[in-house]
A and B are shown apart, each in its own frame.
Chain A
């Protein structure tokens, strides 16, 4: 147990000290905040796409719900953006139920189709809804009014806020992994039919995972809106957001606790580098690369990078050392 947690503790210490380690560079501090924020979104996606095995390709709609609720709350009612976040979470959970209740009973492909269609539907609606800024979008507070507006000039406070949220999400996910729900989700992923024969209400568990995932994604959206102070249909509900969330989780390891974080650590810096090297032309190329990456992952490495390194179970034939009732 000690041996396994040592690298984790080291990494956690590194994460806590990171902004100090790059104290001179605003660019690196901002990058750090971006990595953590992306990891939050990807970890949220991981709950439904990785653990439950139901591939949502329209998760941007939940991100947008959080982002828009935060900034609309400010623009329309003068609330600090963070106060709008719970509303965004509620809306996201509602949309998840709307999509999930009819489709999670059916084949996985149907669910995925539905997520694309609803994401597109919402994006078109938002683009044409003046109350939400239409195609122009909404901006947050230009000048912070109170500290509750969470409007900082440096990226460092954001970094720590995001880190705390990520830690909470990962801890929660870890607890779920070890609980009945975690076991049930893995079983459903392996064989829904067998799981049901053992009393697992598969549809219900998938729905819970989806609703939880949606709510947490909305949190990521709200945090994004708070940091960047601006949201529009493309940055809020665009397909790029759905793609980034799922590619980070899938590359790192879908269904693994740290998979999304690993994916974010690889892809976010890569995107920043390519953006600065290629400039504007790079934008179109990014998608091409992501598309190619997704195809390669699907074809050759669906379990993700972390799965290559994760501990393996002993094959049959070797004696086991398990005794009943040892403290896990």
Chain B
């Protein structure tokens, strides 16, 4: 078990965004976190990364308790992430952006630069190394964020709705990239609400609804799960589907 959240609860006053969620991620797998909007998956995600401190529960990484650690401390241990709305360093070039990630393990500027160029090549942004991050479109920025995170040599990469806002062609390219990253041995946790992405990439899926886990299993198991269909499409539609399906 590489990353484990245990009985995680995140309450804002009386409202529980995440309610007693326990999720374990095994080394080398791709775990999908899905759920309709407002299901609490992003909040849960941010508890894993350290942006939010859970009201109760723990997060363990590689055997140690990281619940109280800051995002930068977790990054140093090997947890990397991307952001739902890309937070690229706009005033810097693509290369400089990725160097920030590389600097985590390579303190000298020349070494960080080499590492960054290598990673940029791997994600297919080599032609844009000197371009300003500002001038990239959304898919470019998302790819840049991934490159930046990869440059920090993470053990697990957390992707926050990386495919949101992309065209179908861009999504396919994105899926290829993620597969490529997975092949290199990096564990992945993917938050998505585009079903097709999860189905193509995830080994296992956990479904959130209203802060709680309502189903888990393989993608095909989960997509046929009654509660999941209900959560996404509503009770009546789910009844119609199960009534209509033979």
Using CB atoms and an 8 Å cutoff, list the residues of chain A in contact with chain B: 178-180, 183-184, 186-187, 189-191, 193-202, 312-322, 324-325, 328
B135: A residues at CB distance < 8 A: 313, 315-317
Judging by beta carbons under 8 Å apart, are A198 and B110 in contact? Answer: no
B88: A residues at CB distance < 8 A: 191, 194
Judging by beta carbons under 8 Å apart, are B132 and A315 in contact? Answer: yes
Contact of B127 (CB < 8 Å), options: A197, A319, A325: A319
The answer to whether B140 has its CB under 8 Å from any CB of chain A is yes
28 contacts between A and B (CB under 8 A): A179-B109, A183-B96, A183-B99, A183-B100, A186-B89, A187-B92, A187-B100, A189-B91, A190-B92, A193-B87, A196-B70, A196-B72, A198-B80, A198-B103, A198-B104, A199-B72, A199-B76, A200-B100, A202-B72, A313-B135, A314-B130, A314-B131, A315-B135, A316-B136, A318-B131, A320-B129, A325-B110, A325-B114
The answer to whether B6 has its CB under 8 Å from any CB of chain A is no
Which partner residue on chain B sits nearest A303 by CB separation? B91
Q: Which of B81, B89, B149 has the most CB of A within 10 A?
A: B89
A197: B residues at CB distance < 8 A: 49, 71-72, 75, 80-81, 83, 149
Question: When A315-B135, A316-B135 are in contact, do A178 and B100 touch as well, CB less than 8 Å?
Answer: no
Query: What string of 1s and 0s marks CB contacts (under 8 Å) between B5-44 and chain A?
Result: 0000000000000000000000000000000000000000
Beyond A187-B92, A197-B49: 4 further Cβ-contacts under 8 Å? A194-B83, A196-B75, A198-B104, A316-B136
A202: B residues at CB distance < 8 A: 72
Q: How many residues of B contact A (CB 8 A)?
A: 47
The answer to whether B107 has its CB under 8 Å from any CB of chain A is yes
Question: When A197-B80, A200-B100, A320-B131 are in contact, do A191 and B72 touch as well, CB less than 8 Å?
Answer: no
State the CA gap A133–B43 with chains docked (Å). 58
B83: A residues at CB distance < 8 A: 193-194, 197
